[in-house]
Chains A and B, each alone.
Chain A
Amino acid sequence: MSRALFLLFLGWQILAQAQYQTWYGVEIGFKPVKKTKVELGLQHRMNGIKEWSRSYVQAKFHVKVVDGVQLFSGYRFGLLPNSNSDLDLNPTTYRHRTALGITINPTDWMLDKTRLSFGLTAQMQWNRAKFSRERTVFRSKVNAKYDIEHFPLSPFISGEYFYDFKRDISYTEDEVLIEGGTKAFRWFGGFEIELPKSHSFQLALGKRTAFLSNRSYWIASLTYQVRIQ
């Protein structure tokens, strides 16, 4: 316990001295039909702990194709401060994101139940916003989680890669060149705190490293999850 407290203290010390965001979220997951799963969520992101960054409402729909393979689609509506408020006189603007992807869990193919889960996710997403360039981003994520026996904490880690298909735009003499490239890396480490009756908290510390820009920041994330069986 003292180690956990020390790590927590260390994490906050790092955040206090760096650019960071704090994310607060609520997620509800349920299975409407066999082999399907729906996740609904709210997320509130802050720059530091005082300045509002953005808020999201999101929905994700999963379909199990075969054991260990799921397809999913997702939608996210975001509300954020409007940096072009001089153009439309609105202090906030909105952002839409749709996504399609696949999740592969090789541990599901093992015959014996294992406490280690390991997943690969690939996702295409399309972002649209009022005064921002449309973005098409490919994300691939690797994550691992271990459910410790007779212990309420389940540690996990994840690493994610972002590729933006419209990252670089060059206006040459007679044409517009659009080129893709690595946009960012993001990793998280944390643990899930299991609560009774399918409730849990997920506490994570991560870092988003933007490629070719200095907009890198740390992330402290707290999510409350409910899974209705």
Chain B
Amino acid sequence: MPDGAHYPIPFEGNTQQACCRGCQAVAQTIIDSGQGAYYTHRTALPATPREAEAELAQLGLYDLPEIQESFVRVEAEHIREAALILENIVCAACIWLNERHIAALPGVLSVEINYATRRARVRWDNSRIQLSAILKAVSDIGYIAHPFDPGRSDDIYKRERNTAIKRLAIAGLGMMQVMMYALPSYTATDMTDDIRLLMRWASLVLTIPVVLYSAWPFFIGAWRDLKRRTLGMDVPVALGVGTAFIASVYATFFGQGEVYYDSVTMFIFLLLTGRFLEMNARRRAGAAVEELVKLIPAATTRLPNWPLRDEEQVPVARLAVGDHVLVRPGETLPADGVVVDGDSAVSEAMLTGESLPVSKTIHSKVVGGSLNQASPLVVQIEKLGADTRLASIVRLLDRAQSEKPRIGQLADRAAAWFVGLLLLITVLVGIVWYVIDPSKVLWIVVSILVVTCPCALGLATPAALTTATGRLTRLGLLTTRGHALETLARATDLVFDKTGTLTQGRLSVRRVVALGGHSENEVSDIAAALEAGSEHPIARALREAATPSRSASQIRNTPGRGVEGTIGEQTYRLGSPRFAAPAHTLPEAAEGAYPNNGHESWIALAAGDALIAWFALADTPRADAPAALAALSAQGLHLHLLSGDAEGAVKATAQQLDITDWHAGALPEDKLAYVKTLQSQGRIVAMVGDGINDAPVLAGAQVSIAMGEGADVAQAAADMVMLGSRLGTLADGVALARKTQLIIRQNLGWALGYNLIAIPAAAFGYVTPWLAGIGMSVSSLLVVLNALRLTDYKPNTPVAAQPLPSPLTAPR
């Protein structure tokens, strides 16, 4: 059952959907002039000036450092960055408006707004402008900006949704009843004039609330656009509604001409339905980010007197670095920290896309937002709030979603011109029809205004991008730059800049050479038994190679050399050749597939003085590397391996993984030169590296992907960060990026095609206003729904399906 089943809505005294004071003055005028019959039904009127002033005084509070702490990040001495959430965003046009308005303020360094989540990231110079001034600037143009906090975002959504439902209900009821009056006046032949007049007046009474309440957002939007001297999506709609309504009122009062109440109400209802559905769809598209934010619980159990076990419940916001918290199974970690007590398995699936839980014990680092699964953990907090890994993931994701790639910017500019052109066309068509048939002019003009859909054009790219980045994050690939998806989709070459990217970075047993009549299983078993108590990487590798059926006693460890122990009657020594078997030499290189090439370590096992086995240990490719690379090759990508490691190791890895282009001993300059050579051949290079040491090489490639495992995500200077250790994510990412490109093209194609057909059709009089309303709503809804297909997109790569085998994640 959804969790949201029992949220009470605080409504009383709420200043809901309060817009600018200008609008409020207008609303006041309406009421004063006696037309506000509808408003008497409302329980909350728009903000009174006194309340607005109180709110302004409150804004000043946001300048206090202790209040800013929770949502502002200090970058340099004066540079601050804050996450804001905007209310009253209805269409992509609002985003342009706010972006341009805020960016124009002196002292504001940058501003980016995400349409899907309505969140803004603002960077400013604190010595030149205060945060309150920015918030005030936003409220000046009729929007409301709040410092971001996830609970608030929920409230805002709930309020917006309730308002939308109310507007929809009023429009729907009005529409139905007006239709009832309209139908007989079209069909009846014996209707008397006084009945006809009565019906017109009744229709007027019903249409007034629909126009003044339900259609209000369109008028506000259009007014805002005009005030800023831009042309947005709301201008044609408001013009259409306004024209038809005023003409009908004129006809009602003076008894001449046609009335269009049915068209007006119907198409307002259809537009609102479209917007309502779009709002829900948009909510789903932005859900990935919202879910991440919500991972952090609101309250947690603090152990104030650790190591004493007395508990207290505190809000997470009140925690301080160094506090100890108790995290029970089933609870979510409130912040980043280190385990000081307990032994458990923790699921980081939401953060890394890894489905298996990771085992955590004392000294393990844990990440806020991951879920404790097995047993209680006591965690000492190291990083809180905006410094946590989760927060930086959210921040990078926000940035990526608010940055528009080239194709999106192009569409935006086109949409603004489009509206201007449209108004011009409307005027021309109106004049032409006036000459041909004056009685049709009005509804044709209204149809043209309504049928066009610049919204679809503006929505095409951001809707798809937001959904795709959200989906990718859940797969474990974090997008940090807006262009990353577009470039990844076009990439022709994939360069791995390190052997360690493809290998696990841990030892495992590559080969066992059993001597003196012992079987390989037997010697592996003995080695595992001897190493049973050690946490050394070699010991772990040997243990993983066998399931010990015997146990050793009198184990004596000589650090750096080896281990000695007794199994049954026999004493064994295991370790470096010189420790275990001083008299013997390494096996000959010719004996197996892996020559002694310097990247494998040889471990000897001796029974008494007799050497009974050799173990060759080496770093192995990640378990899913062969499948992942095969999938990438199958996607038409050319794979390269550049490494600073010795030739032997690189060659072995490359051969195992079937990479033909490999270069060993490469310095960062060499790597960069290699990438540049590829680029000069017209290839588009995607680079995979560890993100921190290889910044220049990563920056040189068109798109860079960092292995973010354990590293500080925020520091990774890459366009994308792999959050988990699953290489298959790369293939998924490429598949999803290509799919996203396809969907963006489909969307833009649809938006252009629709408008190219709809406008001429309306100009020639084939589209009635209500049909136009359906057309426009469906058009923009289709774009969003098409983008939503990415939400559950399952990349069709062979690696995607198989679970990740990793001994590390097995519970003890």
Q: Do the two chains belong together in a single complex?
A: no
B interface residues with partner A (beta carbon < 8 Å): none
